[in-house]
Amino acid sequence: MDPTQAPISPANEGGAPIHVPVLVALPRHSGVEEVLDYLQPAELGPRRLAPGTLVRVPLGRRVVTGLVWQSTTDANRPPVSELRSLAEVLPQLPPLQDAWRSLLQFAAGYYQRAPGELAMAVLPAQLKELDGIQLQRRLKKLDRSLSASNPLPAHAVVQAESADAPPALPALSPQQAQVLEELNRSPSGTCLLHGVTGSGKTEVYLRAAEAALSRGQQVLVLVPEINLTPQLEARFAARFPRQRMVSLHSGLTPPQRLQNWLAAHTGRAELLLGTRMAVFASLPRLGLIVVDEEHDPSYKQQEGARYSARDLAVYRGRLESLPVLLGSATPSLETWLNATPAPAGLGRYQRLAMSQRIGDGALPRVRLLDLERYCAQHGRQALRDKPVAPALLQALRDRLERGEQSLLLLNRRGYAPVLHCPSCGWKSGCPHCSAWRVFHKLDRSLRCHHCGFSERVPLRCPQCGDPDIQPVGRGTERLEEQLSALLPEARIGRIDADTTRTRGSLETQLAAVHEGAVDVLIGTQMVAKGHDFRRMTLVAAVNADSALFSSDFRAPERLFALLMQAAGRAGRDARQAARSEMWIQTWHAAHPLYLALQAHDYEAFARSQLLERRAAGLPPYTCLALLRSEARDQAAALGFLQKAAMQARALLPQGIELQLYPPVPAALQRVANVERAQMLIESPHRAVLQRFLAVWLPRLQEGNAGETRVLRWAVDVDPQSI
């Protein structure tokens, strides 16, 4: 029988039909109710399905996956004659718990998305495609794999081969022991673990996880990027050989993601490591959440529901009355303010400090290589076509002679950011974006890193025909080439998005660094955090100044975090810490950011930044939302926002503390032939902003239902880039 035409039947012969409210994926403010009523088939008996049960329901001409939701009141129920029956119930899975549904409901409301839309986005894609028979097969396959010698496929579950004896635990430093004692006294609540690089934050995570696991609870560990997951997996697998661990991140195949999600949801896995998507993982016995490198902007989703996984982790901890551990050497200013006692801060989080490295190793000495002074002494020609200044080159040679490793940080991949014709001024712009196409010498291509458009490098200038087109600027590929010529005896490696495209390549290259097969490592921010390079004694930032004068008010915070994290890769071995250094090539050696970095004084930097933010009325002292629009031409994108502003002002009551700024083109105005514009909404009070958005956005949807010039629009609450 076609399930879309399933007959209506009451749940029992003598009683009233049982209404089942079901959450389905519908856009918010679409004009259709987000929770739809269905009838429970009689064969399921008289008891109403539990909220959180996965079901298949007819929706129009389709059969879709939905979740049984909270019951509606009798007054809101449509007549039985208008209802259709559930097509199928998937009782093989335990219902999603109340706490998970509450988290979803909060996230949908706060980030202005439909609950059903968000639910179907965070559940595994394959789960939504399975019927009951297929799901049963997947669960049997999961049971078979768990009972096998290798419980789950590669990249799914990590388990030590031998679990006969527990591994020997490293001795705790006094600061680690004190922090763990404080955590034991705080069975719930949010703690900021502010530890300098190399202070042993991971060991604190492991001990806290051990305590939760000993109570029969599950542990969720969030990391900002996929490339940090394998290393942390290895640490947890070695420590907990008897526990089953799964990972969740976008690098998994759909079957792997489904299998890992099922292992966590059914309680078969005790440990879950993942990126931001893992904050929505269903963990019925969750007892601890760890957010490593909590400051990282990668925790903010940039498409669809633009949620912050870090903020949702804090909310989930409060919702389920469990501890949340935020770890960082350079906390975000929002977290720092929350962890600073009143009156200077908000005092919402407990701050736990670890200011000493393991083994009492010294933090690397930060040296500023003043390029302005160098050129004044030697002339600007002294640096012409040189990737590093002579003093830094000599420092690299010194490390090479001692058998130590060095890291050069350049957060720009490719050979050169742009090709340029000196005759007519032509530059390698992208025809589809407001950006330059990057020159990649290895495959002789010009590639746009925004839309992906790529073509061969022209033999002559497309504009004037001059064959002398030249690269301008330097990327990691060019730095590798130039450094290889200057240090022919060195084994030089490069890790960036271009060299780690193939599966397993990142792990292979990192293993080569750890084994000492690389003398000088060149890399982007991928290698600046989370890696424990024991032989590394020199880190150098080749072009840090490019982020100093950005229009983004968060740029100084991100630059400081990147440089301090990169510096932490040097001197991880206490025996080499005393001679470890961080060099920064700069034209602005007197900049306060660099001076604070020299002193390893995050607190001074945070104080100065917070003073500036308060004076300027910027987060975390104010709350922002960004309305974005996209259209085929900029006039249409701006016109939509101008109309939206008029609607908003008509709704604003007198005296409300909320400001709408004029619409402007986005910083990157055109991407893939789509023009982008944005409008900022600001309020000093989060509740005021949320109430306004809840009233304004439905009116905006209704008023633009027939709009065809605008391709899409969305609101971004707490935007990370403006």
- Judged by average pLDDT, the poorest of 329-333, 376-380, 415-419 is 376-380
- Work out the mean pLDDT of the chain and round it to a whole number: 90
Q: What confidence score (pLDDT) does residue 702 get? A: 82
Say yes or no to pLDDT of 717 above 70.
yes
Angular region, 231: left φ>0, alpha ψ -120 to 50, beta rest: alpha
- Taking Cα atoms as reference points, which of 222, 53, 28, 36 lies closest to residue 108? 28
Strands 710-717 and 623-631: antiparallel
Q: What is the pLDDT of residues 678-691, one digit of tens each?
A: 999 999 999 999 99
Token pair of 586, please?
């700069």
Average pLDDT rounded to a whole number, residues 99-107: 96
Q: Cα–Cα distances in Å, from 602 out to 248, 410, 597, 606?
A: 32, 22, 7, 6
Average pLDDT rounded to a whole number, residues 69-85: 73
Q: What confidence score (pLDDT) does residue 574 get? A: 81
Displacement of CA 710 from its chain's centroid (Å) = 28
Q: What confidence score (pLDDT) does residue 474 get? A: 93
Residues in the chain: 722
Average pLDDT rounded to a whole number, residues 266-293: 96
Q: What confidence score (pLDDT) does residue 149 get? A: 39
Confidence of residue 532 (pLDDT cuts 50, 70, 90): confident
Q: How many CA atoms lie within 13 A of 106 on its CB side?
A: 17
d(CA 283, CA 12) in angstroms, rounded, equals 34
Q: What confidence score (pLDDT) does residue 153 get? A: 41
Sequence-distant (6+) residues with CB within 8 A of 6 are 41, 58, 84, 85, 86, 87
d(CA 363, CA 354) in angstroms, rounded, equals 13
Say yes or no to pLDDT of 275 above 90.
yes
Specify the amino acid at residue 421: C
Helix (H) / strand (E) containing 185: none
Q: What confidence score (pLDDT) does residue 186 get? A: 81
Kindly report whether the peptide bond that precedes residue 620 is cis, defined as omega within 30 degrees of 0: yes
Q: How many CA atoms lie within 13 A of 8 on its CB side?
A: 14
Confidence of residue 7 (pLDDT cuts 50, 70, 90): very low
Token pair of 503, please?
């599966």
CATH number corresponding to 3-96: 3.40.1440
Q: What is the pLDDT of residues 146-159, one digit of tens each?
A: 766 344 443 444 44
Q: What confidence score (pLDDT) does residue 74 get? A: 55
Q: What confidence score (pLDDT) does residue 673 get? A: 97
> DSSP letters of 463-524?
TT--S--EEES--HHHHHHHHHHH-TTS-EEEESTTTT-STTHHHHHHHHHHTT--SEEEE-
CA-based R_g, the chain, Å:
28
Work out the number of other CB atoms within 10 angstroms of the CB of residue 446: 21
Say yes or no to pLDDT of 399 above 50.
yes
- Judged by average pLDDT, the poorest of 76-90, 159-173, 360-374 is 159-173
Q: What confidence score (pLDDT) does residue 31 get? A: 53
Q: What confidence score (pLDDT) does residue 165 get? A: 60
Is the Cβ–Cβ distance between 197 and 530 less than 8 Å? Answer: no
Displacement of CA 254 from its chain's centroid (Å) = 19
Specify the amino acid at residue 412: R
Say yes or no to pLDDT of 11 above 60.
no
Helix (H, G, I), strand (E, B) or coil at 584: strand
Token pair of 438, please?
């990057």
| CATH H-level, domain 361-413+475-614: superfamily | P-loop containing nucleotide triphosphate hydrolases (3.40.50.300)
d(CA 693, CA 698) in angstroms, rounded, equals 9
Confidence of residue 132 (pLDDT cuts 50, 70, 90): confident
Is the Cβ–Cβ distance between 179 and 354 less than 8 Å? Answer: yes
Say yes or no to pLDDT of 264 above 50.
yes
The residue with greater pLDDT, 620 or 572, is 620
Percent with pLDDT over 90 in the chain: 72
Beta bridge partners of residue 62, listed in sequence order: 59
Q: Tokens 């490198």 sit at which residue?
A: 293
Sequence-distant (6+) residues with CB within 8 A of 484 are 490, 492
132-158+172-357 belongs to CATH 3.40.50.300: yes
d(CA 96, CA 114) in angstroms, rounded, equals 18
Sequence-distant (6+) residues with CB within 8 A of 323 are 183, 186, 187, 188, 189, 190, 191, 208, 288, 289, 317
Q: What is the pLDDT of residues 349-376, one digit of tens each?
A: 999 999 999 888 889 999 999 999 988 8
Q: What confidence score (pLDDT) does residue 172 get? A: 95
Helix spans in 12-93 (H):
none
Work out the number of other CB atoms within 10 angstroms of the CB of residue 84: 18
Work out the number of other CB atoms within 10 angstroms of the CB of residue 129: 12
Kindly report whether the peptide bond that precedes residue 94 is cis, defined as omega within 30 degrees of 0: no
Confidence of residue 706 (pLDDT cuts 50, 70, 90): low
The pTM assigned to this predicted structure is 0.91
Residue-wise over 451-479: b if at least 16 C-beta within 10 A, else e? Answer: bebeeebbeebeeeeeeebebebbbbbbb
Domains 132-158+172-357 and 623-717 share a fold: no
d(CA 211, CA 214) in angstroms, rounded, equals 5
CATH number belonging to the domain at 623-717, selected among 1.10.150.170, 3.40.50.880, 3.30.365.10, 3.30.70.600 = 3.30.70.600
Q: Where are the domains of the chain?
A: 3-96, 132-158+172-357, 361-413+475-614, 416-474, 623-717
d(CA 29, CA 697) in angstroms, rounded, equals 8
Percent with pLDDT over 70 in the chain: 93
Q: Which long-range contacts (CB under 8 A, 24 or more apart) does 378-382 make?
A: none
Q: What is the pLDDT of residues 432-490, one digit of tens each?
A: 999 999 999 999 999 999 999 999 999 999 999 999 999 999 999 999 999 999 999 99
Is the Cβ–Cβ distance between 675 and 630 less than 8 Å? Answer: yes
Beta bridge partners of residue 447, listed in sequence order: 438, 454
Q: What is the pLDDT of residues 637-651, one digit of tens each?
A: 999 999 999 999 999
Q: What confidence score (pLDDT) does residue 73 get? A: 58
Specify the amino acid at residue 370: D
Q: What is the pLDDT of residues 41-50, one digit of tens each?
A: 888 888 889 9
